[in-house]
Amino acid sequence: MKAVTEQLTEPGRRIEHASFAIIDREAGAHGYRPDQWTIVRRLIHASGDFEFNGLTRFHPQAVDAGVAAILAGRPLIADVQMVVAGLAPRRLAHFGVTSYQFIGDQDVMTSAAHEPTTRAAQAMRKAHRLGLLTGSLIVIGNAPTALLELIRLIREATVHPALVIGMPVGFVAAAESKEALAEQEIPWIITAGRKGGSTLAVATVHALLTLTAARSGRDSEQ
């Protein structure tokens, strides 16, 4: 039996555990709950940036909502292919979670070419048309326009995701889109300001999978 949410090899597991121990020691005191720190620590591990101890913010029900969605095998909708490519397929499959992204679909590209929107925004609209947004994990690690479109759908189309991981990166609307998400009543996790990225969004999902496994006792495979 082996843990599905850890590195596949013993040397890999030793390195990861040692890295987490170093982060815990160097980060010192913080104001996060233990389950929230599991996520923040992984963001620091993925980026080498201790500023995420402070930049990472949580809706009070965010972790519980994410764990419940994973246990229920709810879909995961990403803004870009890079997020999906970074996710560990065996970890998702262990909980019956299927990932989707639509930014490269021909109909999405055609719509973006004929309307004053981005492909990322159109991809969120397609996910909505397919009925994939409500009750799902929405993971945005690249495109502020995807997050802004999702917020519009939450406000105007009564879309209600289980959890939104909002970590777009950049200089145009990245910080603003995350602040707008933090004003919504649905559960969310953000990295405040300009910092973010697909790597951090993926790290957040993997941390949630670890928390799900620990809470449910479902962290082993043959």
CA–CA dist 80, 121 (Å, integer): 11
Query: The tokens of 15 are what?
Result: 């390195």
Beta pairing partners, 165: 139, 189
Which residues 6+ apart lie within 8 Å of 217 measured at CB? none
Handedness of CA 29, 200, 160, 71 (dihedral sign): negative
59 is catalytic: no
Q: Which candidate in 45, 59, 94, 160 is catalytic?
A: 45
Instruction: Label the pairing between strands 188-191 and 56-58.
Output: antiparallel
Q: Which of 179, 154, 153 is nearest to 166 (CA)?
A: 179
204 and 56 Cβ atoms separated by less than 8 Å: no
**Which residues are catalytically annotated?**
45
